Every structure is written in structure tokens, then in C-alpha cells.
């Protein structure tokens, strides 16, 4: 690795270690904190009780079940979804050569939001909402992608434009659904879903999310260095022997699946995919070899942090969309002051 002097190397190591440790600490905090008072020892015993049943014998059943069935899946979801947003944001910023995009540039979040609203309007039921959200998220990106193929010139610009068009199309359709919805029950449900929340996550919400996110993260981690080359542009990427169209296709597909899975479980959480890669760049630089793991870890840590606040500060849940800005902006400001210069 390029090494300059010892102090820089030391700083880099410390940064790396801190980044790796941060999500772990927040994950543990997520298990320890909650509105229902459970002591740390009890938490530990609850966690081990599936393997060592005797440990779980003396803990009140409510506490044990809360730790295993409510806190644990929710913390895992926050971890995975945060990592998902961070990594997909970084990948999209690379292939669009634009530090101002996140994975919603192609409309997946808007499509998923529409799908969820449609499901909430037509029927009730957790898993229908998830499936509709997922399906429409993919549909939106598909529309943007195939729409852009109609125009041969400046493919990146056209792709961005199609993504914006598709996103606003689904945004308008969602507004239509909100208009048709019964203001007493369906509308508040739609609004809450669109604000993003991990409140109703249980183990049953997780299987698809876990599989898709882990596979996606592995893929993005493996191709992370290629993102450097792709971020130079199609012409140079081709000159360096990469097929940018195929690479982008794979990346867009993966990120879309990951984002759609995340949105279908937790609703729309904005801001994370846009800002986390920036924070990562300020800490470790733009080389995706380091940036991708940094984005994954930072994204996971960030979402764990705000979810912890969201569910413990007040008796009612604070929507995640409210906290992402309130917590994220000061953190980013701090990083801008002390981080590396230049993007």
C-alpha cells in the first residue's frame, strides 16, 4: 500500500480500526438500550440462552423475548440497511461520476414508495406491502434503464434524466394514492411508511433482506477497485480494458435489488446513501478500495445510531427521516472541518 510517513500510516490505521469498531459498539448498545428496562447481564444471558438454555431460566420471559425477538432483529436490520445504503450510495456516485447522487437517482425509492402505498391502499398485511414495494422498485429502475437505451448519445446523461423522470412519475402516482386514501386510516399509514421506520421489524421481515443485502455487499466489496476506473468515464474505462456497460448493468442491478429490499422492509430513509460516502471520503479518501468498506461500516453505524435514538428517546417513535438530518448534519460538519481536503 502507498505509505508515506509513519504518522500518516498510524492515522490511517487508527481510522480503520475506529471504523470497524464503531458499528460493533453501536450494535451492542442497540441490544442494551430500550424502553423496557433490562440489565446488561440479563441481555447477555438472553442472547446466549438459545444455545445454553439454563442461562435463560432466571430472566423474566418478557425481557428475554424482547431481547431475542424485538431488539436483536431490529438491530440486525439497522446494520444491514445502513450498510446497504452506504455501499449503494458509493457505487452510484462512482458510476455516475457525481458525488451528488444516491441510489434513488434511478427512481428505485420512489417506485418502492408507490408500491407500498398501493399495497396499503388495496389491502392490509405486512408481507404484501413488502412484496409490492420490492416489485415496483425494480420496475422503476427497469423503466429508467430501458428508456435510456432508446437514445444512443450521452448515455450517462440520458440515464440520469430517465431516472429523474421515472422517479417523479412514481412520486406523482404516490401523491395520487395519498389523495384517494381514506384520511382517517390509510393515509396516515402511507405517510408513516414513507417517512421510514424500523418499528415493526421482526424476524419474519428479515430473510429476504439478509440474503439480498449480504450477497450485494459481497459483490460491491469485491468490485470496489473497479469503481475507481469506472468513475473516470466510459471512454477511459474502455481504454483500460473494462466493458463499462456490462459493469454498470451488474452494479445497477445489484444496488437496485439491495435498495428495493431495504426500502420494502423499512420504508423510505433518505439522506444516508448520499452523505455517508462523502463522510467516508473525508475520512479515507476517494479510492474505493478503502471507501467501500468505509461506507459500509459508516452506513451501518449511522443507521444504528439514529435507530437507537429513534426508539429510546421518547415513548413514541421518532421517524427516521427526522433524525437523519438532525444528527447527520452536525456530524458531517465536524468531518468537513477535520477531514481530508478535496473529495
Partner 1 sequence: MKKNRIALPILMLVIVLAISACAPAAMTPTEVIVTEAPTEAVTEEPLALTEDAGEVPFTVQADPDLEEAITSLYQAYYAGESPAFVEADPDLVVTAVSDEAYVPGDIPAVFIPDAVLIPQNDSPDVAEFIAFAISIDGQQALINAGLLPAAITITDQAGNTVEIAQPVQKVISAYGPATAMVYGVDSEVSLVAAAYLGARDATGAAAMEAIDPRFQELSGEGLFSQQDFNIEETARLDPDLIIASARTAWLDTASELGIPFILYDAETPERLTEAILMTGSLFGPHATAQAQAWVAYYDWLTQSILDQAETIADADRPQVLFTGTNPLRVASGDMYQTSLIEIAGGVSVSAELTGYWNDVNLEQIAAWDPDIIIVPPYGGATVEAITENPDWQILTAVQESRVYQMPKMVVPWDTPSPDSVLGIIWMAQTLFPELDTPDCAEQANFFYNTFYNYAITPEEIDSICAFD
Partner 2 sequence: MQLQANHLHYAYLPEKTVLDDVSLQIEPGETLYILGRNGSGKTTLLSCLAGLLKPASGEVLLDGASLQSFSPAERARKVGLIPQMHTPAFGYTVNEMVMMGRAPYLGWLGSPNREDQAVVDEALAQLGLFELRDRPYTEISGGEQQLTLIARGLAQQCQLLLMDEPTAHLDLSNQHRILEIISQLTDRGLSFIISSHSPNNALSYADRVLLLAAGEVRAYGTPQETLTEPMLSAIYGIRTEVLSNNDGKPLAVITQRPIALDLGALRDPQSPLGQIFARSQKAPQLILVTGLSGVGKTTWCTQLIGLAREAGLSVNGLLSPSIFKNGRKVGIEIVDLHSGDHHQLARLREDNVAGMQTPRWAFDSKVMAWANQTLADSGESDLMVIDELGPLEFAQNKGLTAGLARLDSGDYKVAAVVIRSALLPQALTRWPKAIIVNGSAKTLS
Among 92, 322, 333, which Cα is nearest to 220's? 92
Q: Closer CB to partner 2, residue 149 or residue 238?
A: 238
Are 297 and 284 a contacting pair, CB within 8 Å?
no
Among 224, 222, 276, which Cα is nearest to 84's? 276
Whole-angstrom Cα distance, residue 320 to residue 221? 27
240 near partner 2, judged by CB under 8 A: yes
Region near partner 2 per CB under 8 A, out of 108-116, 231-239, 295-303, 304-312: 231-239
Distance of CA 192 to CAs 101, 104, 204, 289, Å? 24, 19, 20, 37
160 near partner 1, judged by CB under 8 A: no
The distance from CA 153 to its chain's CA centroid, rounded to whole angstroms, is: 32
From residue 85 to residue 114, what is the string marking binding to partner 2 with x (rule CB under 8 A)?
---------x--xxx---------------
127 near partner 1, judged by CB under 8 A: no
From residue 218 to residue 257, what is the string marking binding to partner 1 with x (rule CB under 8 A)?
----------------------------------------
| Least distance from partner 1 to the Cβ atom of residue 69, Å | 5
The binder of 61, among partner 1, partner 2, none, by C-beta within 5 to 8 A per type, is: partner 1
Residues 6+ apart with CB under 8 A from 282: 335, 336, 339, 340
Whole-angstrom Cα distance, residue 128 to residue 105? 25
Using CB under 8 A, pick the residue from 1, 41, 51, 184 that binds partner 2.
1
Enclosing H/E stretch for 178 = helix 155-180
Using CB under 8 A, pick the residue from 8, 154, 172, 202 that binds partner 1.
202
Site for partner 2 in 248-307 (CB under 8 A): 281, 285-287, 289
Using CB under 8 A, pick the residue from 39, 188, 233, 330 that binds partner 1.
188
Longest alpha-carbon distance in the chain: 69
From residue 287 to residue 316, what is the string marking binding to partner 1 with x (rule CB under 8 A)?
------------------------x---xx
Whole-angstrom Cα distance, residue 58 to residue 272? 41
Give me the residue label for grid cell 450498510: 83
The binder of 200, among partner 2, partner 1, none, by C-beta within 5 to 8 A per type, is: partner 1
Residues binding partner 2 (CB under 8 A): 1-2, 4, 94, 97-99, 222-226, 228-229, 231-233, 235-236, 238-243, 247, 281, 285-287, 289, 342-343
Amino acid at each position: 500500500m502507498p505509505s508515506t510517513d509513519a504518522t500518516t500510516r498510524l492515522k490511517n490505521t487508527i481510522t480503520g480500526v475506529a471504523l470497524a469498531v464503531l458499528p460493533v459498539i453501536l450494535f451492542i448498545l442497540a441490544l442494551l438500550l430500550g424502553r423496557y428496562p433490562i440489565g446488561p447481564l440479563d441481555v447477555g444471558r438472553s442472547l446466549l440462552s438459545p444455545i445454553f438454555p439454563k442461562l435463560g431460566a432466571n430472566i423474566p420471559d418478557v425481557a428475554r423475548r424482547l431481547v431475542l425477538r424485538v431488539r436483536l432483529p431490529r438491530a440486525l436490520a439497522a446494520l444491514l440497511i445502513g450498510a446497504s445504503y452506504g455501499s449503494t450510495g458509493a457505487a452510484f456516485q462512482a458510476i455516475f461520476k457525481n458525488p451528488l447522487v444516491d441510489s434513488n437517482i434511478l427512481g428505485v425509492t420512489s417506485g418502492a414508495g408507490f408500491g407500498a402505498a398501493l399495497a396499503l391502499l388495496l389491502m392490509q398485511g405486512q408481507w404484501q406491502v413488502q412484496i409490492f414495494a420490492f416489485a415496483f422498485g425494480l420496475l422503476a429502475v427497469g423503466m429508467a434503464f430501458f428508456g435510456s437505451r432508446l437514445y444512443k448519445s450521452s448515455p450517462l446523461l440520458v440515464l440520469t434524466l430517465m431516472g429523474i423522470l421515472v422517479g417523479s412519475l412514481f412520486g406523482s402516482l404516490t401523491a395520487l394514492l395519498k389523495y384517494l386514501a381514506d384520511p382517517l386510516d390509510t393515509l396516515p399509514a402511507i405517510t408513516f411508511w414513507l417517512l421510514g421506520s424500523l418499528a415493526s421489524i421482526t424476524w419474519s421481515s428479515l430473510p429476504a433482506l439478509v440474503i439480498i443485502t449480504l450477497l450485494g455487499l459481497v459483490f460491491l466489496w469485491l468490485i470496489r477497485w473497479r469503481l475507481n476506473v469506472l468513475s473516470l468515464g466510459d471512454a477511459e474505462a474502455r481504454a483500460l480494458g473494462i466493458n463499462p456497460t456490462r459493469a454498470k448493468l451488474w452494479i445497477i442491478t445489484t444496488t437496485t435489488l439491495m435498495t428495493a429490499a431495504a426500502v420494502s422492509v423499512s420504508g423510505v430513509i433518505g439522506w444516508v446513501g448520499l452523505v455517508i460516502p462523502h463522510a467516508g471520503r473525508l475520512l479515507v479518501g476517494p479510492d474505493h478500495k478503502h471507501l467501500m468498506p468505509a461506507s459500509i461500516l459508516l452506513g451501518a453505524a449511522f443507521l444504528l445510531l439514529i435507530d437507537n435514538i429513534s426508539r429510546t428517546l421518547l415513548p413514541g417513535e421518532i421517524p427516521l427521516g427526522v433524525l437523519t438530518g438532525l444528527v447527520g448534519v452536525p456530524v458531517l460538519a465536524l468531518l468537513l472541518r477535520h477531514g481530508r481536503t478535496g473529495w
